[in-house]
Every structure is written in C-alpha cells, then in structure tokens.
Amino acid sequence: MTPQATRIILIRHGKPAIATAPRTGHHGFRSYIDDYEAAGLDPASAPPEELQDLVKELSAVFTSDRARSHESARALLPNAELIADPLFAEAPLASPRIPLLRMKVPKWAVVSRILWHAGYTPEIEDYRRAKARASDAADILMARAREDGQAALVAHGYFNLMIGRELRRRGFVKTGSHRAKYWNDVVYERRSALQGAPHGAPG
C-alpha cells in the first residue's frame, strides 16, 4: 500500500458464546436478542491466520462496546490498543409479534431485519438513525486511515455493511463481500486524487 492510499478493514466478530440456531417462538426470540447482545466470544472461535496476517501491522483497532466485538478484537490483535465506542454497535432488531410461529433464530433475524427496513422499530433505533450513525462511523474510520494509512473495525455484520455502503459512496473500492460469517472481513481502499487522476484531468 502506497502512502497515497487509505485502507479501511471491516471485520465481523467471532462466534459468540451462545447457541446460534435454536428453534423458538417470538417470545423466545425476544429473549434471545438480549442474550446474544450480552454474550462474549466463544473461546473456541479463533481468528483465521489470513485475517491475522491482514491486520498484523496495526497498533490500534476500533470495536463496538459489545463483549463479542471487544473480545474478538483482543483475540485478533492481543497487543493493539482497543478503541471501543458504542457508535459501532449493531443495527438493532426487534422480535415481531407473530403468534404460533416457531422458527430457527437465523430465520427470525431475516424476518426481523426486513420488518426493520419496513419501519417496525418498537423502542429501537430506526433505519434513518442507524444510517446517520453509519455515516459518523465512516468519518471516524476515514480520519484514522488518513492519519495512519489504514484503520480497522471489529464490529457487527449488518452495521459493517451499512458503513461499507457509506464508504463506497465516498469513493472507496471494495474487496470481499459482507456475509453472515464469523470473522468475515471486507477491505475498502481509496487512492488520493493526486495519484488516482492523470495530470490535468478532472478531480
């Protein structure tokens, strides 16, 4: 990476110390959301070597204030400074009140996310506020990347995707895909106008 490029690495946390696919009704899913938010990192969930190689030069890493994010960052970069901020927390979900229906947790999460986009946000942050928060998160990561050449965030799958959309809107190029996979990483890079455009070309 040249000094004229900035790189931002968005990483999903490792596997939480909680069962991830029980079958439940909407009351059980509501409790599961709370339990998931409180869970730390499963001790058996180790970061892959290729991810460790990708971030090994970093002296600091951003995380959310959730235990699964903070502990994942510590497992990934044990000697780095951890910069925890609730700004990087996951975009929230609410359990929809659908009587008699029983599904596995991942299916409940998909239904809940669709309804969240449709406006079902009882006592939780709505899409508009989460999008504004993602823009603020992108500002913080870009400022660090301008200073150090790169920045990394260990946080949450859907909110990482929202930050990534904001980075692409600002001219970053994406490598990788946001997937529902623990330790998933997506790299965003942007070269400066000085390097990216020929002399005399429009900026």
Fold adopted by 5-196: Rossmann fold (3.40.50)
Q: Please write the tens of the pLDDT for every residue from 101-131.
A: 999 999 999 999 999 999 999 999 999 999 9
Residues in the chain: 203
Question: Is residue 144's pLDDT more than 60?
Answer: yes
Residues 161, 51: Cα–Cα separation, whole Å: 18
User: What phi and psi values does residue 202 have, to the nearest 5 degrees?
Assistant: -60, 145
Q: Which of 157, 45, 169 is nearest to 90 (CA)?
A: 157
Q: Which of 90, 76, 75, 73 is nearest to 36 (CA)?
A: 90
pLDDT level of residue 198 (50, 70, 90 thresholds) = very low
Q: Please write the tens of the pLDDT for every residue from 20-32.
A: 778 999 999 999 9
Q: Give the global pTM.
A: 0.91
Helix 105-117 with 26-38: angle, nearest 10 deg? 90
Compute the average pLDDT of residues 1-25: 86
Residues 18, 37: Cα–Cα separation, whole Å: 10
Which residue do the tokens 């990788």 mark?
176
* DSSP letter, residue 5: E
Q: 76 near 47, Cβ under 8 Å?
A: yes
